[in-house]
């Protein structure tokens, strides 16, 4: 269950807040009246945190249990929890009205989405013309898979190859320390992790992401996720481009979508930030 303590301890990511502040200026909506959706909100931690700051934030998630765990805290805070946190239905609908949102954010979600076409269509539906979205998630070619903490296993086909690689990593002591793995044999752990990797992670090439969102009418740009240390190099000719390319393909993808009709594009150089 999400508690007030969890929210108080939660460090909200600076890049998302900076994105929201930049976006409202571009769109021309006051920060306090912008409607924001946290897509794949989990228990609604980010939703609760931003609501504390007076922002009109909503959340949607495909997992009803996460949503159920977040609603009691929102109810305590005098929000209508059924309105604020929504379960995404079997057709991918969040249940929000057409064109409801000015800004959409998601953090570490799109790599879990099996059917990105459905998500793209739904985001397009709920975003107002000119609305912008920022989705941050790990790149396909990132060396260490961010859930299993194993090198390159997600590069392999979803077959015996991947399962064998997972087993080998476990044999040398590399792997996650999830509670539900406690007491299982190594083979059983390998089976659980393999099933997770196959059923819950769907890494895509940057080009595929561009095509999917572009095909439903989004203007697609890239935010360059970087570390503080690399920021001074970002504006250097050639080196900056190389870094942008490398970080996007081998670290985190930050995709910025603008729902077309009113151009409210944010140029890449304005978006260099820390993820
Ligand atoms: C790693 S968690 C991230 C949760 C939250 N965004 C955060 O930053 O803590 C991934 C979330 O994506 C949700 N998710 C997975 N597939 C989804 C989909 N197709 N549509 C919406 N949410 C999805 C999961 O239920 C889970 O809550």
Structure token digits, residue 155 = 């590069």
Predicted pLDDT of residue 76 = 94
Structure token digits, residue 225 = 């996720």
Ligand 1 centroid to residue 31 C-alpha, Å: 25
User: Has residue 274 got a pLDDT over 60?
Assistant: no
Please name the residue whose Cα sits nearest to atom 27 of ligand 1: 42
Specify which residues 138 forms β-bridges with.
Answer: 252
Specify which residues 218 forms β-bridges with.
Answer: 259
Tens digits of residue pLDDT in 116-173: 999 999 999 999 999 999 999 999 999 999 999 999 999 999 999 999 999 999 999 9
What residues contact residue 4 under an 8 Å CB cut-off, 6+ apart? 73, 76
Q: Which atom of ligand 1 is nearest to the CA of 45?
A: 9
As a whole number of angstroms, the distance between CA 241 and CA 230 comes to: 12
Which residue in 149, 134, 131, 137 sits closest to 217, CA to CA?
A: 131
| Higher pLDDT pick, 77 / 157 | 157
Of 37, 43, 61, best ligand 1 pocket probe by most atoms within 8 Å of the beta carbon? 61
Same domain (yes/no): 63, 157 = no
Ligand 1 centroid to residue 226 C-alpha, Å: 22
Tens digits of residue pLDDT in 223-248: 875 555 666 777 788 888 888 888 88
In 10 A of CB 9, how many CB atoms? 9
Instruction: Give percent above pLDDT 70 in the chain.
Output: 92
Predicted pLDDT of residue 32 = 93
Site residues for ligand 1, CB cut-off 6 Å: 40-42, 45, 61-63, 66, 88, 107-109, 112-113, 119
Which residue in 258, 39, 222, 21 sits closest to 129, CA to CA?
A: 258
CA angle 89, 90, 96 (to 5 degrees): 30
Ligand 1 centroid to residue 265 C-alpha, Å: 26
Tens digits of residue pLDDT in 9-53: 998 877 788 899 999 999 999 999 999 999 999 999 999 999 999
Predicted pLDDT of residue 253 = 87
Evaluate whether residue 148 is within a structural domain.
no
| Residue 202 CA, distance from chain mean position | 13
Ligand 1 centroid to residue 43 C-alpha, Å: 9
Mean pLDDT score of the chain, rounded to an integer? 91
Ligand 1 centroid to residue 108 C-alpha, Å: 7
Same domain (yes/no): 189, 56 = no
DSSP string, 97-113: PTT-EEEEEEES-GGG-
Evaluate whether residue 115 is within a structural domain.
yes
Predicted pLDDT of residue 130 = 93
- Total-model pTM: 0.92
Number of structural domains found in the chain: 2
For residue 135, the domain's CATH number is: 3.40.50.150
What residues contact residue 63 under an 8 Å CB cut-off, 6+ apart? 42, 87
Same domain (yes/no): 177, 210 = no
Q: Which atom of ligand 1 is nearest to the CA of 114?
A: 19
Predicted pLDDT of residue 241 = 86
Same domain (yes/no): 21, 157 = no
Q: Which atom of ligand 1 is nearest to the CA of 66?
A: 27
Evaluate whether residue 209 is within a structural domain.
yes
As a whole number of angstroms, the distance between CA 62 and CA 116 comes to: 13
User: Has residue 272 got a pLDDT over 60?
Assistant: no
| Residue 274 CA, distance from chain mean position | 15
Please name the residue whose Cα sits nearest to atom 26 of ligand 1: 42
Domain that holds residue 24: 4-139+204-274
Q: What interhelical angle do 116-126 and 206-215 show, nearest 10? A: 50
Same domain (yes/no): 126, 177 = no
Reduced to 3 states (helix: H, G, I; strand: E, B; else coil), residue 90 is coil
As a whole number of angstroms, the distance between CA 50 and CA 38 comes to: 10
Ligand 1 centroid to residue 236 C-alpha, Å: 35
């Amino acid at each position: 269950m999400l508690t007030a303590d969890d929210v108080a301890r939660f460090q909200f990511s600076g890049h998302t807040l900076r994105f929201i502040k930049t976006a409202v200026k571009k769109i021309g909506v006051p920060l306090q009246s912008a409607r924001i959706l946290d897509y794949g909100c989990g228990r609604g931690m980010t939703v609760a945190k931003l609501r504390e700051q007076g922002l009109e934030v909503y959340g949607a998630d495909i997992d009803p249990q996460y949503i159920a765990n977040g609603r009691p805290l929102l109810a305590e805070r005098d929000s209508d929890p059924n309105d604020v946190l929504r379960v995404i239905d079997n057709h991918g609908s969040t249940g929000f009205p057409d064109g409801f949102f000015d800004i959409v954010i998601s953090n570490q979600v799109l790599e879990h989405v099996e059917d990105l076409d459905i998500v793209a269509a739904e985001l397009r539906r709920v975003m107002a013309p000119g609305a912008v979205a920022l989705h941050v998630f790990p790149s396909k070619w990132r060396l260490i898979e961010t859930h299993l903490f194993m090198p390159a296993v997600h590069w392999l086909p979803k077959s015996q190859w991947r399962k064998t690689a997972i087993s080998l990593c476990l044999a040398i002591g590399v792997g996650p320390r999830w509670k539900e793995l406690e007491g299982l044999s190594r083979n059983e752990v390998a089976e659980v992790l393999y099933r997770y990797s196959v059923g819950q992670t769907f890494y895509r090439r940057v080009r595929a992401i561009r095509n999917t969102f572009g095909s439903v009418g989004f203007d697609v740009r890239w935010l360059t996720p970087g570390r503080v240390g690399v920021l001074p190099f970002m504006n250097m000719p050639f080196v900056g481009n190389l870094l942008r390319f490398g970080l996007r393909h081998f670290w985190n993808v930050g995709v910025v979508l603008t729902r077309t009709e009113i151009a409210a594009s944010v140029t890449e150089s304005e978006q260099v930030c820390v993820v």
